[in-house]
Structure 1
Amino acid sequence: MTGAARTVASARSSTSSRSAPTRRRLDAVTSTGGRIPYPEAARPLLHDTIVTAVDDLVRSRGWSATTMSDVAAAAGVSRQTVYNEFGSRRTLVEAYVLREIEALIAGVEEAVRASHDDARGAMHAAFGLFLKLASDEPLVQVIVADAEGGELTRLLTGLGRQVASERIGRLIVEVWPQVSVADAGLVAESMARLAISHALLPTSDPEDTAAAVTRLVGPFIDEILAT
């Protein structure tokens, strides 16, 4: 289980956030009706098993020292099976980063929805939770410890930031429909950049950082909610 998913799971009795992509793929398959061929039904589990192996290896040795053969051995499948599922090492690590960021954002979404009647409070809670979850996230820990080269950093600050920004933007419009898509996108992009920056280069306690960011961005939040 990822660091983020472990922390989320400790606060909830439901299945961990990391398994959500697998559940969605399985739901999509079963919703078509009829008998599902075994290879098709098993593929989401295979996908998740391989990405979980990446998570375990990142914890123990970092990504730069991990080969596709290492991933295959850790997942209990052949090297060719890993290539058949992901195509390349780059695609595999992208899948890993996406799963980790989705686990982090799942916690943020819950925090925002729980405080939807207080936008500043929701921002404070969500930002602080993201930083707390990130501090327990192996992907972030490896980068912060400077034990990894630039590939994971580029993926987290590029692909990870993009996914986080899109998810947060949609969430803002969902929770506060009076906010325009453009304003929601501006807030989401700013928050995603700030969150990832503070996660990778922490300078203070998550709560203190969340309070400072809320003071900075809060006036604009008040403005767009009042329109």
Structure 2
Amino acid sequence: MASPTPYRDENRRRLRSALVAAARDLTVAHGWPGVTMAAVAKLAGVSRQTVYNEFTDKAGLAEALARHEIEHFVDAVSTRLHEHGGDARAAAHAAVLHTLAEAARNPLIKAVLTSARGGADELLPYLTTRSELVLAAASAAIHDWAAARLTDPDPDRLALAAESVVRLTVSHIVQPSAPAERTATALAEVFTRLLG
């Protein structure tokens, strides 16, 4: 069997992108419980079967939507980290502050948290109990920054610092306990102390 052509791969990527964008728009407008495969299909201008073929079920669509949003966040976090060179405290502060501020502004995050408070929490686990996507992507961004900007960091300390600051940041997205600036300062301190 011949492998798919680059043209076909590009069409599939565009289709997935359009379906995820439609799911995002519907989630923002109606909350995740209001999202159906049929509504996504209608908004994207494709058949419902096309949506099922691409994601299998609503859980598959939820994962694709979560991945898309996480990639967007992590790209911005990576940019903030690198803007501060090897200054770990400043890099962590900028990355955490950006993440908290963006999460507070992001209509999808608001929809996820609002839906969860109403009892429909199918997307919330991607920030909490199924947060491996967030942890892996954000930790990778921190490791990439450290490899490019720090001189011979201890791998175990770096792994601990990265995972800790990511988990704490996610916790503050879900349930903020202080203004974003103060939280970013505290988490930057935690990060630098764990790095040693």
Instruction: Give the C-alpha shift of residue 163 in structure 1.
Output: 3.0
Are residue 120 (structure 1) and residue 84 (structure 2) matched? no
The Cα offsets for residues 125-166 of structure 1, whole Å up to 9 and x where unpaired, read as 111011111112223212333356221111222234333344
Q: Distance in 2 between matches of 1:167 and 1:37?
A: 28
Paired with 1:219 and 1:162, the residues of 2 have a C-alpha distance of 20
TM-score, normalising length: structure 2: 0.86
Corresponding position: 1:55 with 2:24: yes
Report % sequence identity.
33
Name stretches of at least 5 consecutive residues in structure 1 with no aligned partner: 1-31
Q: Tell me, yes or no, if the aligned pair for 1:140 and 1:200 is still in contact at 8 Å.
A: no
1:45-124 aligned at under 5 Å gives the runs: 45-124=14-93
When structure 1 is superposed on structure 2, of 147-156 and 98-107 the one drifting more is 147-156
Contact 1:105 1:167 in 2 (8 A): no
**Which of 115, 134, 137 is the matching residue for 1:164?**
137
2:173 equivalent to 1:192? no
Note the residue ranges of structure 2 that are not aligned, 5 or more in a row. none
Cα distance in 2 for partners of 1:127, 1:72 equals 36
Look up the equivalent residue of 1:56 and give its one-letter code.
D
Q: Contact between 2:19 and 2:41, CA under 8 Å: does it hold in 1? A: yes
Amino acid in structure 1 at the alignment position of 2:68: R
Q: Is 1:153 the equivalent of 2:124? A: yes
Q: Is the CA contact 1:144–1:201 (under 8 Å) kept in the aligned structure 2? A: no
In the alignment, is the contact (CA less than 8 A) between 1:164 and 1:192 conserved in 2? no
What TM-score results when the alignment is normalised by the length of structure 1? 0.75
Aligned residues: CA RMSD: 2.2
Q: Which residue of 1 aligns with 2:155?
A: 181
Other structure's SS at 2:168 match: helix
- Deviation above 6 Å: which 4+ runs of structure 1? none
**Residue identity matched to 1:149:** A
Deviation, structure 1 residue 49: 0.2
